[in-house]
Amino acid sequence: MGKVYAELDERLTKFIARQPVFFVATAPCLTSDGEGGHVNVSPKGYRDTFAVLDPTTVAYVDLTGSGAETIAHLRQNGRITIMFCSFTSAPKILRIYGTGQVVLPADPGWPQLACHFSAAAGTGTDRGSQRAIIVVRADRIADSCGYAVPVMELTAERDVLTRWSERHSADQLAAYRVQHNTRSIDGLPAIS
């Protein structure tokens, strides 16, 4: 049923490219035992926001949202899992476990990473609210059956976030991030 892979081969990379949504999971460590805090799972969409950089490294554009749990957790401990789930008739779940790094637009590495994403590079559909690129170095890549996942059909990508960000200037988006993305729900620093 399930299999562990040393790297993302061509078949797995094509599977990732076909998925219209993926899920990101992180958790803080608030005690000396590595426990405590709220586990976070975030759905992510928009096809032009995820890239396989090499066989063991992936990245995605992190868009401005109501919270910044992923960024706060990565800054604290780096642990992250990304899950892709097929909703077509061919069932499959793929998880990428690893260590994440937050790259902000002002960071020196941004231009090199942004070229993998048309929106972040300013050459495609502008999502308007790119606040970071999350780079994940995989230490485990595994799939499982996904037999209990329903078969569903994508009718359209939502454009609500894009329309929301288009109504705000860069300064307004920055102010929003200061108000809503400075700390995680557990009080950990996120975007400063």
Domains of the chain are 3-180 (2.30.110.10)
CB-based contact 136:62 (threshold 8 Å): no
Q: Which residues lie closer than 8 Å to 52 by C-beta, 6 or more apart?
A: 8, 13, 16, 58
**Cβ neighbourhood burial of 85 (10 Å; 0-12, 13-18, 19+):** middle
Q: Between 55 and 171, where is the model more confident?
A: 55
Average pLDDT score over the chain: 91
- pLDDT tens, 67-85? 899 999 999 999 999 999 9
Q: Give the separation between CA 147 and CA 90, rounded to whole angstroms.
A: 9
- pLDDT tens, 5-49? 999 999 999 999 999 999 999 999 988 887 889 999 999 988 789
The one-character DSSP state at 7 is S
Q: Give the separation between CA 97 and CA 81, rounded to whole angstroms.
A: 4
Place of tokens 């995820």: 50
Report the DSSP beta bridge partners of residue 104: none
pTM given for the model: 0.92
- pLDDT tens, 50-60? 999 999 999 99
The whole-number average pLDDT for the span 164-182 is: 90
pLDDT for residue 59: 98
